[in-house]
Each structure stands twice: as structure tokens, then as C-alpha cells.
């Protein structure tokens, strides 16, 4: 009798606190987020829009256009969705948070508002923010078309390598690093002339920083934060970091050279001043901050801010978190994040991205994917896949992210590669050297 009263009571409490949640996006990052959120005691029902062949196994895919905020809102009202977690940057930069605050304030959207998302949406805005709050980064100057001659003069008066950045979002392609001054002058003119469309109507010229890169991730409400595990990703298509830039070919977490001392510098010099800046500017920032860093000598410098999680970094960062992610997200909205402690596994995680032959240039879609039944503890996060009644098919350049765990990252890499060898689709490709430089 006592037991049944208690259990009814508990069931009620649990029910009151369970949520209907929608994740926006369709990559490996969103599959990893959905995989984690669906395990939360706070999750009653999980949707992913538009999702992929993997998200449909841990949530319900919904065919929504993530740039159509009204359509998303209608769906959320219909299904009583209370939380939206935004995967990619574009809807944030376009103001999805502002739209919901104005029109549907009861639905909580996890991400920064349009102004705060400028930290990713405008390199110039990010540089000015860092200058104002004394956050270490490369020295920089920005130029618009009417300052073309000043910009050319600036290049002539400086030494290479020259770092030229389109100010706005350019699908990860807007940064050029050029050794030769003549080439840099031409590229600068081309950029201001519209090489990256509106994104390069302003060009930022930065001092070149020479070092090794890594990234840190925080979950914040603009006043408090919790630090998530750090990671290092591998952006080039070819082994030894050769060839074209991609969205990311693999990642590891933790990063061996990021010791306690380095992390203390990152917290004291970069993360806390960033949060102080959010507070001082009264920024509406409840979401993830992804800070791309470079270690120069023994000091960390910011290369970029992103207003969302990274892909494929999410596929190693999120699986290493043992705490309930939804509890942290809820705590961010309730301003009790500082009471939360995040638990992470000490094991290393590595993810190897399997891509379609030809990526990041032209590639074919619609290839049948065969996955062995036994995955020996590895996780397979889907990126560009589509599940149909006839089976699973490739549907993008980056197809599957294979995440494995081990006591050291080298063994985790081997485990992921062994599984990638057993997964088949026509023209599959993956790098065998993730973590090679560590
Ligand atoms: P971003 O889009 O700002 O992350 O830049 C893309 C890549 O360009 C980074 O991951 C770095 O490898 C490189 N990069 C960006 N800014 C600099 C810089 N100031 N010095 C050296 N490398 C840079
Ligand atoms: N992996 C880099 C990014 O998500 O921007």
C-alpha cells in the first residue's frame, strides 16, 4: 500500500518534469545529441527535424524546414514541444531565438539570440568583443570595399602568411591562408569583389598564429557555465592534414596536450572573460559556445567562436558526458547551472568520419550502406544517411561517424577504423590517421 502511494506520487512528479523536445538539424552532431537526450529521465518525447537515418532510431523524425520558424512553431504548438535544441548555426544567426521569444515565449529555444550569435556570424563582431574584454586572439583589421586601398596597403606592409577571413558565414570556406604577398593581394580584392557573396563584403585580415589547435565547449546561460570535455578535430580530407578543407574528418577527446595548467589558462583568460562579456553586454545567450583555440608556445589564443556545438566534435564530446545533458540544459534556463557538476568518463573517445568518394567536391548519393550487426561497443552516428523501406542509403558527403572509447585514444582510433573497414558503401573513404599529430 505504502509502496503504491509512493510510486503514484513519484510517477506524478516525474510526469510533471518530463519534456517534449525538438532537435533541429540533420548531421552526426544532431544524432549524437538525440542519442544523449533520449536517455534523459526528463525526456518524454523527442523529435528531430529533419533528422537522418540515425536520428529516426532514437527520436521521431519530422519533415520541417529549419529555416521556416513559423512552420517549426506550428509543429511545437501542435505537439506541445517545450524545448528546442538548435544544432547548426544558421537558424541562430537568422534569429530563431528572437522569433520564439517574441511569438511563442513559453517554448524555450536553446541557443543564443541573433545579436549574440554574431559571435559566429561576424568575425569582425567577435574580434571587437575579444578586444573589449581582453581575450587573447590574433591582431586584426577589417576592411569594406570603400577601404580597398587601405587593405591592400595593410597587406603590403605586413609579412605572410596572410590570414584573410570573410566576415560573415561562408559554410566553413571563408578563411584563406596565403603565403605569398602577391597572391594575398589578389585574393583580398576577389573577396571584397564578392568571392563569398555577401559574407565577404567585409574582410578581416588577421595576424597568423602558429601553433596546434583544439576546441573547448561550454554550456551557458550567459551568466554561469559548465565546461564540457575538450576536443581536437581534423578538417582536411587527406591523411597528414593534406588537401581540401572539409566539415571535419574525425575528432578525439580528451586532447593529450591540454593539461590542467593549459585548461586553467583557458578558463581564466578566455572562458570567464567571455562569460563576463556576455553579462556586461547583457547578451541573451543560453546555449552552447564552441571556442576554437590555438596553443602558441604555452599560451591559448582564440581562433573563432561558434554559437553551437561542432561536428564531428559533438560525436566525441557528448558520449564522454555521464551527466544528464537535459538536466544541464534545463538548469541553464532556470539559472541554477552553478549548482551542477558535470561528470565525464576518463576514457578517451575518437570518432572517424566515413565520407562519400569525391567529398568535399562532387560526390554521389543513394549508395546502399551495409553495417555489421556487432559493433563491439562503438557508436555509429549517422550524418548523411537516409533510411527507407528498402534499407539505409548515403545521402550526403559525410555519411557516418564511428565513435569508439578506450583507455588511450590510439586504441580508440584503431577500434573505429576496424569497424569502418567492415561497414560498406560504394566509394567509401575515411582517414586512418586521426590523432596522428598528438
Ligand atoms: P575559422 O573558420 O576562423 O575557424 O578558420 C579556419 C581555420 O583557419 C582554423 O581552423 C585555423 O586552422 C585557421 N586559422 C584561422 N585563423 C587563423 C590565424 N589567425 N592564424 C593561423 N591560422 C588561422
Ligand atoms: N568541426 C568544425 C565545426 O563544426 O565548425
* CA of 233, nearest ligand number: 2
Q: Evaluate if residue 15 carries a pLDDT over 60.
A: no
- Closest atom of ligand 2 relative to the 309 alpha carbon: 4
Question: Of the residues 207, 291, 303, which should be mutated to test ligand 1's pocket, given the most ligand atoms within 8 Å of the CB?
Answer: 303
pLDDT surpassing 90 at residue 374: no
Strands 236-238 and 242-245: antiparallel
Ordered domains of the chain (ranges, CATH): 2-113 (3.40.50.20), 139-206 (3.30.1490.20)
Regarding the beta carbon of 30 and ligand 2, being less than 6 Å apart is answered no
The pTM for the full model equals 0.94
Question: Ligand 1: which residue has its CA nearest to atom 11?
Answer: 303
Any ligand 2 atom below 6 A from CB of 324: no
The 10s digit of each residue's pLDDT in 208-260 is 999 999 999 999 999 999 999 999 999 999 999 999 989 999 999 999 999 99
Instruction: Output the CA 165–ligand 1 centroid distance in Å.
Output: 9
Residue 369 DSSP symbol:
-
| pLDDT averaged over every residue in the chain | 95
Can you give the pLDDT at residue 336?
95
Please give the Cα distance from 417 to 383 (Å, whole number).
17
- Helix 28-37 to helix 325-333 angle, to the nearest 10 degrees? 90
Of 123, 121, 126, nearest to 111 by C-alpha is 121
Check: CB of residue 23 under 8 Å from CB of residue 329: no
Interatomic CA distance for residues 66 and 59, integer angstroms: 17
Which residue has the least CA distance to atom 9 on ligand 1? 303
Ligand number with the minimum distance to the CA of 306: 2
Crossing angle for the helix pair 96-103 and 69-79, to the nearest 10 degrees: 50
Q: What's the pLDDT score for residue 124? A: 96
Q: What is the mean pLDDT of residues 391-404?
A: 98
Residue 3 has pLDDT above 70, yes or no: no
Which of 232, 255, 306, 315 is the best mutation target for the ligand 2 pocket, counting ligand atoms within 8 Å of the beta carbon and taking the most?
A: 306
Note the helical H segments in 157-296. 181-192, 260-265, 272-280
Amino acid at each position: 500500500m505504502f509502496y503504491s502511494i509512493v510510486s503514484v506520487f513519484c510517477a506524478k512528479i516525474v510526469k510533471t518534469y518530463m519534456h517534449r523536445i525538438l532537435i533541429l538539424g540533420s548531421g552526426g552532431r544532431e544524432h549524437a545529441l538525440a542519442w544523449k537526450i533520449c536517455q534523459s529521465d526528463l525526456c518524454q518525447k523527442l523529435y528531430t527535424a529533419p533528422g537522418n537515418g540515425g536520428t529516426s532510431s532514437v527520436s521521431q523524425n519530422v519533415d520541417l524546414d529549419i529555416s521556416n520558424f513559423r512552420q517549426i512553431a506550428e509543429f511545437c504548438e501542435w505537439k506541445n514541444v517545450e524545448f528546442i535544441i538548435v544544432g547548426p548555426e544558421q537558424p541562430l544567426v537568422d534569429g530563431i531565438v528572437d522569433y520564439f521569444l517574441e511569438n511563442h515565449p513559453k517554448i524555450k529555444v536553446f541557443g543564443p539570440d541573433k545579436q549574440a550569435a554574431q559571435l559566429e556570424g561576424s568575425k569582425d563582431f567577435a574580434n571587437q568583443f575579444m578586444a573589449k574584454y581582453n581575450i587573447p586572439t590574433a591582431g586584426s583589421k577589417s576592411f569594406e570595399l570603400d577601404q580597398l586601398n587601405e587593405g591592400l596597403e595593410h597587406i603590403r606592409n605586413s609579412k605572410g602568411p596572410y590570414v584573410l577571413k570573410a566576415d560573415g558565414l561562408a559554410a566553413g570556406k571563408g578563411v584563406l591562408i596565403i603565403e605569398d604577398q602577391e597572391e594575398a593581394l589578389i585574393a583580398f580584392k576577389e573577396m571584397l569583389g564578392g568571392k563569398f557573396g555577401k559574407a565577404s563584403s567585409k574582410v578581416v585580415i588577421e595576424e597568423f598564429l602558429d601553433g596546434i589547435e583544439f576546441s573547448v565547449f561550454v554550456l551557458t546561460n550567459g551568466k554561469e557555465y559548465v565546461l564540457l570535455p575538450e576536443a581536437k578535430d581534423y578538417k582536411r580530407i587527406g591523411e597528414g592534414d593534406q588537401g581540401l578543407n572539409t566539415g571535419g574528418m574525425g575528432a578525439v577527446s580528451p586532447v593529450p596536450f591540454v593539461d590542467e595548467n593549459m585548461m586553467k589558462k583557458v578558463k581564466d583568460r578566455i572562458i570567464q572573460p567571455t562569460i563576463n562579456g556576455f553579462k556586461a553586454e547583457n547578451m541573451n545567450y543560453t546555449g552552447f559556445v564552441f571556442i576554437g583555440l590555438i596553443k602558441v608556445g604555452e599560451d591559448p589564443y582564440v581562433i573563432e567562436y561558434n554559437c553551437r556545438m561542432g561536428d564531428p566534435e559533438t560525436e566525441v564530446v557528448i558520449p564522454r558526458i555521464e551527466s544528464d545533458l537535459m538536466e544541464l540544459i534545463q538548469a541553464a534556463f532556470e539559472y541554477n547551472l552553478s549548482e551542477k557538476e558535470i561528470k565525464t568518463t576518463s576514457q578517451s573517445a575518437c570518432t572517424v568520419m566515413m565520407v562519400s568518394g569525391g567529398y568535399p567536391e562532387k560526390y554521389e548519393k543513394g549508395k546502399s550502406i551495409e553495417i555489421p550487426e556487432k559493433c563491439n561497443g562503438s557508436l555509429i552516428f549517422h550524418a548523411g544517411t537516409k533510411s527507407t523501406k528498402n534499407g539505409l542509403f548515403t545521402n550526403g558527403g559525410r555519411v557516418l561517424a564511428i565513435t569508439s572509447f578506450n583507455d588511450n585514444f590510439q586504441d580508440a582510433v584503431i577500434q573505429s577504423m576496424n569497424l569502418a573497414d567492415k561497414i560498406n558503401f560504394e566509394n567509401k573513404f575515411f582517414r586512418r590517421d586521426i590523432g596522428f599529430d598528438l
